[in-house]
């Protein structure tokens, strides 16, 4: 068996032991004589799995009991609408910080439901930084403050939790479980699973229960958090396979030493790659240093005419999907929890060699 290092932004690489376990128990899950793919969500067996998955996540992130955990359909994009529909309550305005295309898209979606106050945006500078907190024009009457903790496309990550007084909402789709966080600081956290948690299909939402008192008129039932919390995420048929993969990934993280260990490893991997890019004349990264993402390392070749060759040869060297997002161009190495340090080493070796040959 030959497996490449997969630097794709998502659906992304999964821990090998997780894939092996899925393979080994795919045809006969827990001696039931059937596959998890064929298992009803209301069975005792799946209910137990669901409860254990939630308990593991609560343990991994020390989630307090006044927060609900949901496993939903619909991806990050559905959350762009669910957040305003559920959290506006009697307010008409929400604050948005724009640090990349995902927070920008979230703010555009929110405009369908409320006045969006963009507190600050780094759009004009090509989303390469996070505007200084002192420049944010916060609205103390906002229903909530929204930001994207890690901008997957632009490679920008916040190294701090925004100091705001209104409920804090964050999109952690691409850095969920990559570092320790204090849940108490947040009103709502959401994360599509296909990057750092599992496969596409499940979206995790952690929400403080006092925020769920009402929804906008005509909010679909499927978009109402309260309906999902009242039904333990089983209002309709949940994405059971993705939920099951999440359960295996949570167990894997626990075995590795928990989120603290992930954080240390992620910092080490990212430092190694950025240090290499910074000291090599051939490549550069354009994100302001303190806001560089530990998960999505964007970089350019100084001679862009070599881009296609770089991508062709890196693919041949079994380093897959290094092409950056079409809106930003260049290259992007997504190095989530499941990317081993050996993948970073292989990438640096290739980049060193390529620079020697074409520099």
Q: Which residue from 8, 11, 75, 258 is in contact with ligand PMP, where contact means CB under 6 A? A: 75
Does position 77 interact with ligand PMP (CB under 6 A)? The reply is yes
- DSSP E strand stretches across the chain: 5-6, 67-72, 93-98, 115-121, 145-148, 150-151, 156-157, 168-171, 188-192, 203-208, 283-284, 296-301, 319-320, 331-334
Q: Which is nearer to ligand PMP, 58 or 77 (CB)?
A: 77
Chain residue at closest Cβ approach to ligand PMP: 75
Does position 174 interact with ligand PMP (CB under 6 A)? The reply is yes
Query: Alpha-carbon distance 242 to 200, whole Å?
Result: 7
Q: Which is nearer to ligand PMP, 58 or 325 (CB)?
A: 325
**Residues in 137-156 that interact with ligand PMP by CB under 6 A:** 148, 152
Give residue 287's Cα distance to chain centre: 19
Which residues belong to the active site? 102, 171, 195
Query: Alpha-carbon distance 94 to 115, whole Å?
Result: 6
Determine if the peptide bond prior to 91 is cis (ω within 30°): no
Count of CB atoms within 10 A of residue 325's CB? 16
Q: Which is nearer to ligand PMP, 54 or 171 (CB)?
A: 171
* Selection from 129, 178, 209 nearest residue 336 by Cα: 178
Selected range binding ligand PMP among 32-40, 69-77, 227-235, 345-353, rule: CB under 6 A: 69-77
3 state DSSP class of 150? strand
**Residues in 78-117 that interact with ligand PMP by CB under 6 A:** 102
Q: Which residue from 10, 187, 238, 239 is in contact with ligand PMP, where contact means CB under 6 A? A: 10
Does position 71 interact with ligand PMP (CB under 6 A)? The reply is no
Does position 54 interact with ligand PMP (CB under 6 A)? The reply is no
**Nearest approach, Cβ of 32 to ligand PMP (angstroms)?**
30
Query: Alpha-carbon distance 322 to 4, whole Å?
Result: 12
* Selection from 70, 65, 126 nearest residue 246 by Cα: 70
Q: Which is nearer to ligand PMP, 21 or 121 (CB)?
A: 121
Angle subtended at Cα 98 by Cα 95 and Cα 104, rounded to the nearest 5 degrees: 100
Does position 325 interact with ligand PMP (CB under 6 A)? The reply is no
Selected range binding ligand PMP among 166-174, 227-235, 278-286, 347-355, rule: CB under 6 A: 166-174
Size of the site for ligand PMP (CB under 6 A): 11
Q: Which is nearer to ligand PMP, 86 or 173 (CB)?
A: 173
Selected range binding ligand PMP among 24-32, 161-169, 170-178, 341-349, rule: CB under 6 A: 170-178
Does position 13 interact with ligand PMP (CB under 6 A)? The reply is no
Does position 136 interact with ligand PMP (CB under 6 A)? The reply is no
**Nearest approach, Cβ of 189 to ligand PMP (angstroms)?**
12
- Burial degree of 104 (CB within 10 A; 0-12, 13-18, 19+): buried
For the chain, what is the radius of gyration of the CA atoms? 21
Q: Which residue from 84, 192, 238, 239 is in contact with ligand PMP, where contact means CB under 6 A? A: 192
DSSP string, 186-209: -SEEEEESTTTTSSTT-EEEEEEG
**Nearest approach, Cβ of 178 to ligand PMP (angstroms)?**
12
* Selection from 182, 339, 322, 197 nearest residue 270 by Cα: 339
- Annotate each residue in 202-231 with x if it binds ligand PMP (CB under 6 A) or - if it does not, as one string: ------------------------------
Tokens linked to 60: 């991994």
Does position 76 interact with ligand PMP (CB under 6 A)? The reply is yes
Q: Which residues bind ligand PMP (CB under 6 A)?
A: 10, 75-77, 102, 148, 152, 171, 173-174, 192
């Amino acid at each position: 068996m030959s497996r490449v290092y997969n630097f794709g932004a998502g659906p992304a690489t999964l821990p090998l032991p997780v894939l092996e376990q899925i393979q080994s128990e795919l045809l006969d899950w827990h001696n039931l004589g059937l596959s998890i793919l064929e298992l009803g969500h209301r069975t005792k067996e799946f209910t137990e799995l669901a409860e254990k998955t939630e308990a593991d996540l609560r343990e991994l992130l020390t989630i307090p009991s006044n927060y609900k955990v949901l496993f939903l359909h619909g991806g990050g994009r559905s959350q762009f609408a669910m957040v305003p529909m559920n959290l506006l309550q009697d307010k008409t305005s929400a604050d948005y910080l724009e640090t990349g295309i995902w927070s920008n898209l979230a703010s555009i979606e929110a405009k369908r439901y409320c006045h969006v106050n963009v507190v600050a945006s780094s759009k004009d500078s090509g989303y390469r930084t996070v505007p200084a907190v002192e420049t944010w024009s916060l609205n103390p009457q906002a229903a909530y403050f929204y930001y994207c903790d890690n901008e997957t496309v632009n490679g920008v990550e916040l190294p701090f939790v925004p100091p705001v007084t209104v409920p804090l909402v964050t999109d952690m789709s691409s850095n969920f479980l990559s570092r320790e966080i204090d849940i108490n600081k947040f009103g709502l956290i959401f994360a599509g699973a296909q990057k750092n948690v599992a496969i596409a299909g499940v979206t995790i939402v952690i929400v403080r229960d006092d925020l769920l008192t009402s929804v906008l008129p005509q909010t679909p039932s499927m978009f109402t958090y309260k309906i999902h919390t009242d039904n333990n995420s089983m209002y309709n048929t949940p994405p059971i396979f993705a939920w099951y993969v999440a359960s295996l990934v949570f167990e894997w993280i626990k075995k590795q030493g928990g989120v603290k260990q992930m954080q240390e490893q992620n910092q080490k991997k990212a430092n190694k790659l950025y240090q290499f890019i910074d000291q090599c004349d051939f490549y550069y990264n354009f994100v302001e240093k303190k806001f560089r993402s530990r998960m999505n390392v964007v970089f350019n070749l100084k001679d862009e005419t070599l881009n296609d060759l770089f991508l062709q040869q890196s693919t041949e060297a079994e380093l897959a999907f290094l092409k950056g997002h079409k809106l930003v161009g260049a290259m992007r190495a997504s190095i989530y929890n499941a990317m081993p340090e050996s993948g970073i080493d292989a990438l640096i070796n290739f980049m060193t060699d390529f620079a020697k040959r074409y520099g």
